[in-house]
A = this chain, B = another copy of it.
Amino acid sequence: MASSDEGLRDPVNGVGRGGSARRRVAVPSVAERVADELRYQLAEGMLVPGTRLTEAAIAEELGVSRNTVREAFAELASERLVVRHPNRGVFVATLEAGDIHDVYTVRRAIEVSAIRGGGTPEGIAAVRAAVEEGKRAAAVEDNEGLGSANQHFHGAIVALAGSRRLDTIMSHVLAEMRLFFHKASVDAHFYSGYLTENDEICSALEAGKLDRAGELLHAYLDRSEAQQRAVHGE
């Protein structure tokens, strides 16, 4: 390990945030770093949905105060990554029956709306870049890379709208999906089939056929939802 024996990672530069020589002016607060750490563990599948998170345990494990853990919990709860049961504790969020549909309803709303708005040339270029990123990952059979490329693709689509609020909503939704569908991402050809579809959507977008792109994207999300429902019970 780089820093201490246990607890939080580098306050200034996170894990995957290398490269930028400029330092952050304001170091994120401890509570924020705790939230980041937990978010990381959640996304990485180290914390299985349904697990109970006791304040004292995490406080000691990360070497921070209980109150600070509490603040981090509040943040994660607002992102629906954990659920607070009053007087019972916080639990890693679990997927109820209708939640898959719910999540995809949000995605359909904001993604389709964003792509129908067109966006700037730079924005479209970012979408294209994500498609190419996916192709490269597929060429090396890098499943993890394929998954994140897919997320970049959809993130780039939402970014077309140029709305801070939509961006954060999307990032929350994607975080939820990472948590829930972590197991599914190990499937080899799970995303591979989407590659050509993403390309098609991107081409329609580049050609200015926005309605067409929107329809394709909508259909894509419908199919993706069905697939996820098939994988997980229901």
Choose the segment among A51-59, A98-106, A147-155, A194-202 that binds chain B (4+ C-beta atoms closer than 8 Å). Answer: A98-106
Contact digits for A49-90, partner B, Cβ 8 Å, 1 yes 0 no:
000000000000000000100110011001110000011000
B113 touches A169 (CB 8 A): no
Beta-carbon nearest neighbor of A67 in chain B:
B67
Beta-carbon nearest neighbor of A74 in chain B:
B74
List which A9-46 residues lie within 8 A (CB) of chain B: 26, 29
A105 touches B71 (CB 8 A): no
Cβ of A228 within 8 Å of any chain B Cβ, yes or no, is no
Shortest Cβ distance from residue A227 to the other chain B in the assembled complex, whole angstroms: 19
State the number of copies, please: 2
Bound CA span A26–B85, Å: 10
B169 touches A102 (CB 8 A): no
Bound CA span A60–B164, Å: 35
Bound CA span A169–B109, Å: 12
Q: Is the interface of A mostly helix, strand, loop or mixed?
A: helix
- Which B residues touch A162, using CB under 8 A? 105
Contact digits for A138-163, partner B, Cβ 8 Å, 1 yes 0 no:
00000000000000000000000111
Cβ of A129 within 8 Å of any chain B Cβ, yes or no, is no
Cβ of A108 within 8 Å of any chain B Cβ, yes or no, is yes
Shortest Cβ distance from residue A165 to the other chain B in the assembled complex, whole angstroms: 5
Shortest Cβ distance from residue A221 to the other chain B in the assembled complex, whole angstroms: 11
Cβ of A205 within 8 Å of any chain B Cβ, yes or no, is no
Beta-carbon nearest neighbor of A103 in chain B:
B165
Point out the residue from B26, B86, B163, B166 that lies within 8 Å of A29, measured CB to CB.
B86
Point out the residue from B67, B71, B86, B106 that lies within 8 Å of A169, measured CB to CB.
B106
Question: Can you report 26 A-B residue pairs in the complex whose CB atoms are below 8 A from each other?
Answer: A26-B86, A26-B87, A67-B67, A71-B71, A71-B74, A74-B74, A74-B75, A75-B78, A78-B78, A101-B163, A102-B164, A105-B162, A105-B163, A105-B166, A106-B110, A106-B163, A106-B165, A106-B166, A108-B113, A109-B109, A109-B113, A109-B114, A109-B161, A109-B166, A110-B110, A169-B169
